[in-house]
Amino acid sequence: MRIAIVTDAWHPQVNGVVRTLQTIRAELEQMGHVVDVISPDLYGSIPCPTYPEIRLALVRSAVVGQAIAAIQPDAVHLATEGPLCLAARRWCLRSGVPFTTAYHTHFPDYVAQRTGLPAAWFWRYIRWFHGPAQAVLVSTRSVRDQLRAHGVPNVQPWGRGVDLAAFTPDAPPPALFADLPRPIQLYVGRVAVEKNLEAFLATVHPGTKVVVGDGPARAALERAYPQARFLGPMFGAELAGAYAGADVFVFPSRTDTFGLVMIEALACGTPVAAYPVTGPVDIVIPESGALSDDLGTAIGQALLCDRAACAAYGRSFTWARSAQEFLSGLHAIDPHVIESAA
């Protein structure tokens, strides 16, 4: 199968959406499929307000449509709700080309936090954008239920996975961990307002709070919480070691739909503390961590979990299964439709 993925999130951005798409592309190609990615780097773009790492493509729908038609895909997937996928959506609808979409982030809550406007305003856009899709691929049951409650139809499952070769309990921790007071409480991810990182840093708990990642809120948070250790971005074996060397992984976000970092931490044997919100409620079970409206309480309870049980549970999330779910959600295009659209 030849698959065209259109996405507003792509390299060099560093986030869960990009990592998911890159990994799924590699899995599908190993299975013998051909995956073409249409991303903002192919066109002129401007930085996204308040999030300059994201580039917003400036392109007409006809131009994106020509790129899709040239691929001659068997299926089209629109990964995000940004301007590039908006242009592709417009062309697909005008040309009669069916497509699928995905809901990666609680977009209404995310934008509401950054603009101060009511989230209900942005749910209208979500319903409008995803409404014509043949399927809307969503990572967890609670998010599927939420989308259906907001009037988004055709919701189908698409879970996530872990690179089990890289993320293991045996990954060597960073040398500096040896000198840090225990327990080490770790956060990994973007350092930005929507991640609710301050809720973690404000908890009162013995030990050391460690932040891995970067973002626009880092400088202010470093000034406000000088006792926390901000280590910057980590990748690969270094990141796996940070997970494995921590005593608990803290996930303070209330807007993520899944949270790849949680299952990566679990695969390394590290229990998770989080709020009981969409994403964590579908991933964290009593054997693997704790959920509480009081994040400090969740941290204390998670520290009591058995690390071997966490690692065993983390190994149940595979990218091979994720790729199969992605394929199952796609909608085949009649070749004559693409030919006439071209």
Residue 119 has pLDDT above 70, yes or no: no
pTM over 0.75: yes
Q: Which CATH superfamily is domain 175-317 in?
A: Glycogen Phosphorylase B; (3.40.50.2000)
Q: Are 171 and 244 in contact (CB under 8 A)?
A: yes
Mean pLDDT, the chain, whole residue set: 92
**What pLDDT is attached to residue 182?**
97
CATH architecture of 2-161+321-341: 3-Layer(aba) Sandwich (3.40)
For 62-70, what is the mean pLDDT?
A: 95
181: buried, middle or exposed (CB in 10 Å: 19+, 13-18, 0-12)?
A: exposed
> Within 13 Å, how many C-alpha atoms sit on residue 254's CB side?
16
pLDDT band at 87, cuts 50/70/90? very high
208-267: pLDDT as tens digits? 999 999 999 999 999 999 999 999 999 999 999 999 999 999 999 988 878 899 999 999
Residue 105 has pLDDT above 80, yes or no: no
**Domain residue spans of the chain:** 2-161+321-341, 175-317
Residue 133 has pLDDT above 90, yes or no: yes
Residue 200's φ and ψ, nearest 5 degrees, are -70, -50
CA–CA dist 82, 110 (Å, integer): 13
The percentage of residues in the chain with a pLDDT greater than 70, rounded to a whole number, is: 94
9-31: pLDDT as tens digits? 898 877 888 999 999 999 999 99
